[in-house]
Amino acid sequence: MVQKKDAKQLLKKYLEGNCTDGEKALVEAWYNQFEENERPLITAQDQELQLKEIQNTLPPHFKSPRVIPLWPIIAATIVIALLATLHFYTSYSKKIAGKLNNDARAAVKVQPAGNKATLTLPNGKVIVLNDVKSGEIAQATGFKIMKSKDGKLSYVVDELGGNKEIGSNTIATPRGGQYQINLPDGSKVWLNACSNLRFSVGSSPFKREVELTGEAYFEIAKKTDKLGNRLPFLVKTSTQTVEVLGTHFNISAYRDEQKTTTTLLEGSVKINLPTGSKLLKPGQQATVQNNHINTQEADIEYVMAWKNGMFIFDDEPIEEIMKKISNWYDVDVVYLDADKKQLFGGSISRYAEIGKVLEKLELTNGVHFKIEGRRVIVMK
């Protein structure tokens, strides 16, 4: 918390335009913490005296122009209010900062993620899946694409069309989106928020290969060739290739993370890197980082929480937790003086209103939040 002796210096820096982004946000956050009816009244006499005090602190180039720039006046108004309320703020700011106002929550209505995604066809056409009605949404030689009433996407391939590869499709989920797709070979994929999956569409059963960025859970259909040999299914990320023979597994491979994690629920998968490979057994997890594979026993409940509609935090830094909340609720996160490495634990439904999720984190008394539109401010 800013002490009274430091406040004037900080406000002077704000007025001169010399604040860092963090200091600027802190000054403005002070002012915004108060409801209008909580802000102390300032008389005209008070304003005149304080304006003179502020003017004496201004650099010379602010005093000489005949036309006064607008922003110093606005800044001065904020400073007056802040100076007059500083003693109140330092006494009660923690209480106010920790309070998520019920009226504000009702006004914001930040909703959890829903079925939102775009589909890019081989010809470059982009379909916004959440905007189209159920039924057939596209077709081409050899296949058609169907959307079910509950929002799932399915491909129906003409098995008599030969072994021609028609082209690649890409399905992408935004922040605040998720989607389920049934691939042409019958495999099922659940995409988490901020993820995309690229895959080939064609009648050939021999090419089963997808490229993933982000996070997805796979249930791979078992396929065999004419001799009865199982056909592999390949999942490629920026760091690895996973070879599958019919199994259930989860891969997390977000671009802004330094590692790729593969968790096997049933069946078997092989993690292939240029430097070597590892075969996973059910219940194991492989982490790939810097071209090295590390395997360990997996916490399946934790890994599958996102698909099962839950947030589970197991001694995670608040920075990692807020990344998940940002992706799921489509909000931006701003840190003031919070410790990004502080650890938190707990669980709550992913379909809860965002205020309820933040409230649960606040119960630790280690962090407080303020919601401003689609922005969440994280404070001590």
- In tens, the pLDDT along 90-105 reads 344 444 444 444 444 4
Q: In this model, does residue 14 exceed pLDDT 90?
A: no
Q: Strand, helix or coil at 349?
A: strand
Q: Domain 114-303: which topology?
A: Jelly Rolls (2.60.120)
Q: What is the C-alpha separation between 295 and 313, in angstroms, rounded?
A: 21
The mean pLDDT value of the chain amounts to 80
Q: What integer is the mean pLDDT of 168-185?
A: 95
Q: What is the C-alpha separation between 73 and 115, in angstroms, rounded?
A: 47
Domain boundaries, the chain: 4-97, 114-303, 309-379
CATH number of 309-379: 3.55.50.30
Q: What integer is the mean pLDDT of 165-192?
A: 92
pLDDT one-digit tens code per residue, 34-52: 444 344 444 444 445 555 5
Return the beta strands (E) in 254-321 as ranges. Answer: 260-266, 269-273, 276-280, 284-289, 292-297, 310-317
Spatial contact of 72 and 80, defined as CB atoms under 8 Å apart: no
DSSP letters spanning 170-227: EEEE-TTEEEEEE-TTS-EEEE-SSEEEEEEEES-TT--EEEEEEEEEEEPPP-B-TT
**What percent of the chain has pLDDT above 90?**
53
Quote the pLDDT of residue 30. 56
DSSP letters spanning 8-49: HHHHHHHHHT---HHHHHHHHHHHHTS-GGGSPP--HHHHHH
Q: What integer is the mean pLDDT of 269-284?
A: 94
Task: Determine which helix (DSSP H) or strand (DSSP E) holds 358, and give its type and residue range.
Answer: helix 354-362
| Residues, the chain | 380
Residue 7 pLDDT level (bands cut at 50, 70, 90):
low
pTM: 0.70
Task: Determine which helix (DSSP H) or strand (DSSP E) holds 50, and give its type and residue range.
Answer: helix 44-57
Please report, in angstroms and rounded to a whole number, the separation of the first and last CA atoms in the chain. Answer: 9
Quote the pLDDT of residue 62. 43
User: Could you tell me the CA-to-CA distances from 277 to 207, 239, 243, 272 in Å, in that order?
Assistant: 21, 12, 10, 4
Residues 6+ away with beta carbon under 8 Å from 355 = 100, 105, 110, 371
* 30 compared with 258, residue with greater pLDDT: 258
Q: What is the C-alpha separation between 316 and 301, in angstroms, rounded?
A: 15
Closest CA to 147 of 163, 162, 130: 130
Q: What is the C-alpha separation between 121 and 140, in angstroms, rounded?
A: 10
Quote the pLDDT of residue 165. 58
Q: Strand, helix or coil at 245?
A: coil
Quote the pLDDT of residue 44. 45
Quote the pLDDT of residue 225. 82
Q: Chain centroid to CA 56: how far?
A: 46
> In 10 A of CB 105, how many CB atoms?
17
Q: What is the C-alpha separation between 279 and 353, in angstroms, rounded?
A: 40
> In 10 A of CB 245, how many CB atoms?
15
Q: What is the C-alpha separation between 117 and 119, in angstroms, rounded?
A: 7
Q: Using only C-alpha atoms, what is the Rg of the chain? A: 27
pLDDT one-digit tens code per residue, 194-215: 999 999 886 555 578 999 999 9
Q: What is the C-alpha separation between 163 and 171, in angstroms, rounded?
A: 23
Spatial contact of 297 and 280, defined as CB atoms under 8 Å apart: no
Residues 6+ away with beta carbon under 8 Å from 120 = 126, 127, 169, 170, 171, 172
